[in-house]
Amino acid sequence: MGESSDPTNLQELARHLGISVTTVSRVLSGQARRFRISKQTEERIQTAAAQFGVRPDPIGASLRLGRTRTIGLIVPDVANPFFAAFAQGIERRFRKEGYAVLLCDSAEDADVEAELLRVMLSRKAEGLIIAPVGQKLGAVSALVETTVPVVLMDRIFPDLPFPMVATDNIAAAKEAVHHLTGRGHRRIACLRGLEGSFPDGERFKGFQAALKEAGIPLTDCPMAGGDYTAATAAKATRDIFQNAKPKNRPTAIIPFGGQITLGLLESLHALNLSVPEAVSVVAFDEQPWSSLVSPPLTTVAQPVEEMARLAASRLLEVLAGKVHARENRLEVLKAKIVSRESVRTIS
Amino acid sequence: MGESSDPTNLQELARHLGISVTTVSRVLSGQARRFRISKQTEERIQTAAAQFGVRPDPIGASLRLGRTRTIGLIVPDVANPFFAAFAQGIERRFRKEGYAVLLCDSAEDADVEAELLRVMLSRKAEGLIIAPVGQKLGAVSALVETTVPVVLMDRIFPDLPFPMVATDNIAAAKEAVHHLTGRGHRRIACLRGLEGSFPDGERFKGFQAALKEAGIPLTDCPMAGGDYTAATAAKATRDIFQNAKPKNRPTAIIPFGGQITLGLLESLHALNLSVPEAVSVVAFDEQPWSSLVSPPLTTVAQPVEEMARLAASRLLEVLAGKVHARENRLEVLKAKIVSRESVRTIS
DNA sequence: TTGAAAGCGCTAACAA
DNA sequence: TTGTTAGCGCTTTCAA
């Protein structure tokens, strides 16, 4: 009789088989060989475990080992295709390695980010991949005091002792400008991203440098914006084009982000300014729709998939103990200009 | 001397203060009032906890309580703006409630989904929100055997005893057709989504029903496709338009998804078929770029934010014990036609 | 080759 | 109003 129900954990499975928990644990965590468990015992345990669907409870293991097999990923906006693609790459890779990922959206808000960091630390995430909200060294720099492996991406802080993955934004912006100057443009505006954020700063540096090289006075090149939203970009676009006399009007513009491009196109449409006849556009961040708007957009494409791969690898290396966690190592990737039809040649 | 370092957990904090762990636990978990802890003791504990940054370790708590304050979210493709927006809404809401979200991407693969489900169960997610990969009752139906609260969205299985949130896809498709027949179209194609998936089935039902109502023979209305990818849609588009004699060619087409629309537009472009002159389009799923392609697209907009809100609320209700977890309750939301310029009127 | 027992950090039952 | 203690499920040290 003694009707005992199915075993649900190692404890019960052990009792069920008349074996010690230790042995069961060893077998189910793949350590059978190391402890020279007899083939027969191993077999019995494996079979029974499969039969009852018993797996070691990760929470118990976490408590014991201090390892959660969980990593945290924080991006400022999952709905942005750039970050969505990045998140997808990260999640895929870590799942393959047996990690789960806690994904959080900081909504471009430093306070949210700080809270998120606290949450992830208290949940004992074993590693963190972060695209910081940008601007001044925020909550992220406090991570230096901890020992969690951290990898920064995109919005990086180059002075922090973390592995970082970013695009060479200076070069990318320069190329964008060259693409335009090479086609006769001399008045080139830019629509800036979040003030103080790394990509914005770098892109702007590249933008300025390229203009200088081309001998174009900065005063001919209006700039506006201040964050990565479409709304701000739409307003900035109006500011630039509405009040300018046609003669002073820029003939080309470089929006510093995907959402920014959306805002730009919207305003341009409202102002009845056609692309590329009235204004040429070289847009930052290749998007799924880049080739489908009218006209198809010439873009600066960042290698997102590769960024995800690299960021994941860096973190995995640290987790594997191959690399020290507090190493200022900046991985810089090249962006590519995808040439389409939003740039006209001025003769 | 007795140089003891800073307390890092409730245990040590208690010792540090000469108080029992119990009291510390009670205060730090906000139960001070319930146990009538003296204001003074509470104060001391709170201060010290803040000073040393001591918080209850969620893992210890999980093990003890069997509650992880974690929910699992599975979508077939985070890079799809529809699901990205949904995920964003879910994450935001649950964070506010003190839950973390384990986000996983099933990549439209039933095996991956099954594995994901196992992972989430073994990690003791307290609730699951799932947009199943679709097609036949898969791993999701096995969840009936468990007790985890589950909410299904979009790709639902109407017979399962779970709360579900979806758009009224039949009505939505009908409206799309009416929008076209009302403007004189009689040959209306459709580009189908994943075969056997709920939204595809419903949309197709609505599509057929509306045609029948309008007295249009189905034979005049080609349909192709078979999943939600751009590639399949591009091929399907070619199949429909390349081989049809101009007279038999549909004058309008309804793509059943965002990626599908991308593929459609790409092929239409390649075939030199302009919208709306050659073909009118009413596209499923409003996208960030819908208003920016040329011409701006008339779309069927699902209320994603509301879907996220609703799904979250349903799950939260179950978690709060207000509602039974195994209730077949289908929440149906209305989609809206967003009328833009991709439909021409045939006289 | 296997096992007994301790302990990770927490909360709740029970006691005072 | 506060404290003692058991135990959640696991892995590992030590012992056999």
Enumerate the nucleotides of strand D whose atoms come under 7 Å of any protein CB: 1-5, 7-13
C-alpha closest to that of B221 among B259, B183, B261, B180: B180
Q: What percentage of chain B reaches a pLDDT higher than 70?
A: 99
Sheet of A150-153: strand order equals: A329-333, A163-167, A150-153, A127-130, A70-75, A100-105, B100-105, B70-75, B127-130, B150-153, B163-167, B329-333
Entry field: residues in chain A: 347
> Average pLDDT, stretch B190-202?
93
pLDDT at residue B3 is higher than 50: no
- Among all residues of chain B, which has the CA nearest to that of A292? B293
Minimal Cβ distance to B63: which of A60, A104, A124: A60
CA of B65 to C1' of D7 (A): 11
Per-residue pLDDT at B136 exceeds 80: no
What is the spatial distance between Cα B339 and Cα B176, in angstroms, rounded to a whole number? Answer: 10
Reduce the DSSP state of residue B103 to 3 states and report it: strand
**What is the per-residue pLDDT for A134?**
75
Q: What CA–CA distance (Å, rounded) separates A130 from A75?
A: 6
Which amino acid residue lies closest to nucleotide D9, measuring CA to C1'?
A60
CA A175 to chain centre: 23
Q: What angle do CA A316, A319, A325 make, to 5 degrees?
A: 100
**What is the rounded distance in angstroms from the CA atom of residue B44 to the CA atom of residue A123?**
25
Say which residues have a Cβ less than 8 Å from residue A98's Cβ, sequence separation at least 6.
A69
What are the C-alpha distances in Å from B312 to residues A77, B102, B218, B226, B303?
A: 19, 14, 40, 30, 14
A128 interaction partners in chain B (CB closer than 8 Å): none
Dig out the tokens for A45 from the structure. Answer: 């345990």
CB of A46 under 7 A from strand C? no
The pTM is what?
A: 0.90
Task: Give the C-alpha separation, A66 to B109, whole Å.
Answer: 32
- CA–centroid distance for B62 within its chain: 27
Looking at residue A4, what is its pLDDT?
Answer: 61
Q: Which residue, among A105, A113, A262, would best test binding to B if mutated, counting the most B CBs under 10 Å from its CB?
A: A105
Burial B248-268 (b: 16+ CB within 10 A, else e): ebbbbbbbbbbbbbbbbbbbb
Q: Tell me what pLDDT residue B347 has.
A: 83
Tokens 């629509």 -> residue: A191
Secondary structure (3-state) at A223: strand
Rounded to whole angstroms, the distance from the CA of residue A46 to the C1' of nucleotide C1 is 17
Spatial contact of A236 and A195, defined as CB atoms under 8 Å apart = no
Q: Is the dihedral of CA A249, A253, A256, A262 positive or negative?
A: positive
Confidence of residue B225 (pLDDT cuts 50, 70, 90): very high
**Cα–Cα distance between B57 and B127 in angstroms, integer?**
21
Within its chain, how far is the Cα of B17 from the centroid? 48
Mean pLDDT of chain B: 93
For residue range B48-105, what is the model confidence (pLDDT) as tens digits? Answer: 999 999 999 999 999 999 889 999 999 999 989 999 999 999 999 999 998 999 989 9
Q: What is the DSSP letter of B320?
A: T
Who among B59, B101, B104 is closest to A91 (CB)? B104
Q: Which of residues 16-75 of B touch strand C (CB under 7 A)?
A: 21-22, 25, 28-29, 31, 55-57, 59-61, 63-65
The per-residue pLDDT for A1 is 39
Q: Among candidates B280, B291, B229, which has minimal Cα distance to B256?
A: B229
Domains of chain A (ranges; CATH) run 7-65 (1.10.260.40), 70-167+304-334 (3.40.50.2300), 169-302 (3.40.50.2300)
Taking the C1' atom of every nucleotide in all shown strands and the CA of B31, the nearest one is C11
Nearest partner of B208 among B230, B190, B226, judged by Cα: B190
> In the predicted model, is pLDDT for residue B2 greater than 70?
no
Q: Which residues contact A62 (CB under 8 A, 6 or more apart)?
A: A68, A69, A124, B59
Residue whose entry in the numeric block shows the structure tokens 């001919």: A220
Burial B310-333 (b: 16+ CB within 10 A, else e): bbbebbbbbbeeebebbeeeebeb
Q: What is the pLDDT of residues B264-314, one digit of tens each?
A: 999 998 999 999 999 999 999 999 889 888 789 999 999 999 999 999 999
Helix (H, G, I), strand (E, B) or coil at B330: strand
Residue with token string 């991570």: A143
Strand, coil or helix: what is B72? strand
How near does any CA of chain A get to the CA of B308, in Å?
14
Comparing A5 with B112, which gets the higher pLDDT? B112
Q: For residue B334, give both structure tokens.
A: 């209305």
CB B259 within 8 A of CB B80: yes
- Nearest nucleotide (CA of A8 to C1'): D9
Rounded-to-integer distance, Cα B99 and Cα B84, Å: 19
DSSP state of A251: S
What string of H, E and C letters represents the secondary structure of B182-249? CCCCCCEEEEECCCCCHHHHHHHHHHHHHHHHCCCCHHHCCEEECCCCHHHHHHHHHHHHHCCCCCCC
DSSP category for residue A106: -
Cβ B295–A293 below 8 Å, yes or no? no
Of A85, A91, A294, the CB nearest to B293: A294
Half-sphere exposure (Cβ direction) of A283: Cα atoms closer than 13 Å: 30
pLDDT on residue A71: 94
The CA distance from A217 to the nearest CA of chain B, in Å, is 33
Q: Which two tokens stand for residue B250?
A: 């549909």
Contact yes or no for A76/A107 (Cβ under 8 A): yes
Report the C-alpha gap between B226 and B195 in whole angstroms.
Answer: 5
> Which residue lies nearest C9, CA-to-C1' measured?
B60
For residue A27, the Cα-to-chain-centroid distance in whole angstroms is 38
What Cα–Cα distance (Å) separates residue B73 from each residue in A87, A175, B77, B129, B303? 14, 40, 12, 5, 19
Contact B292 A103 (CB under 8 A): no
Name the DSSP letter for residue A296.
P
Which residue stretches of chain A have pLDDT < 70?
1-4
> Whole-number Å distance, CA A63 to C1' D7?
14
Share of chain B above pLDDT 90, in %: 81
Whether the CB of B121 is less than 7 Å away from nucleic strand C comes out as no
Q: With 50 as the cut, is the pLDDT of residue B179 above it?
A: yes
